């Protein structure tokens, strides 16, 4: 059964239409995706290695992420995706939205959460995630340099680590 997504105007207003996950949309329209950045109390980021069969498979990425399904809020989606991909069931109030990015017809809602468990205790979703580990900011930046991490702007990673508690941003 094909996953369906709401279509948004750029200012977060739903158009009332839904489309299949990879269906094209009109100019000025967006689908919404979410990313969870799970940080430990000592400031490390839980990163996941994408399954080999996925786009950019084998690369490391932030903790979890995926499409916001039709009728779902971005908060609902980030809770669901974190549960599905990592087996990590965090309550809604564990998540703080850090920022929204606009990129290639998608609204990217980026959330942070705190968790202090062991990476090896997580139950990873087969076909989505092949490994997880804790990483410092410097480790993630080095992984971008050597091509192990997704090719994201290093400034974005620095910003995530700075914003993880949302204190002292402005």
Q: What is the pLDDT of residues 117-129, one digit of tens each?
A: 999 999 999 999 9
Alpha carbon distances (Å) from 138 to 38, 43, 45, 142, 145: 16, 11, 11, 6, 11
Q: pLDDT of 65-83, one tens digit each?
A: 999 999 999 999 999 999 9
Largest CA distance in the chain: 44
The C-alpha atoms of residue 125 and residue 150 are separated, in whole angstroms, by: 19
Do 108 and 150 contact (CB within 8 A), yes or no?
A: no
CB of 72 closer than 8 Å to CB of 84: no
Q: Where are the alpha helices (DSSP H) in the chain?
A: 74-86, 137-145, 154-163
Q: Is the pLDDT of residue 169 over 70?
A: no
Mean pLDDT of 92-112: 92
pLDDT single digits (tens) 132-141? 999 999 999 9
């Amino acid at each position: 059964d094909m996953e369906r997504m709401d279509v948004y105007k750029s200012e977060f207003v739903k158009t009332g239409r839904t489309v299949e996950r990879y269906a094209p949309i009109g100019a000025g329209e967006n689908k919404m995706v979410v990313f969870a950045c799970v940080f430990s109390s000592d400031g490390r980021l839980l990163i996941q290695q994408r399954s080999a069969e996925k786009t950019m498979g084998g690369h490391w990425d932030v903790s979890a992420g995926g499409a916001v399904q039709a009728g779902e809020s971005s908060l609902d989606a980030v809770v669901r995706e974190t549960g599905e991909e990592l087996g990590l069931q965090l309550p809604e109030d564990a998540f703080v939205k850090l920022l929204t990015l606009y990129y290639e017809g998608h609204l990217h809602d980026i959330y942070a959460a705190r968790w202090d468990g062991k990476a090896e205790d997580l139950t990873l979703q087969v076909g989505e995630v092949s490994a997880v580990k804790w990483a410092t900011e410097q480790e993630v930046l080095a992984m971008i340099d050597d091509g192990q991490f997704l090719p994201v702007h290093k400034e974005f990673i620095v910003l995530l680590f700075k914003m993880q508690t949302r204190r002292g941003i402005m």
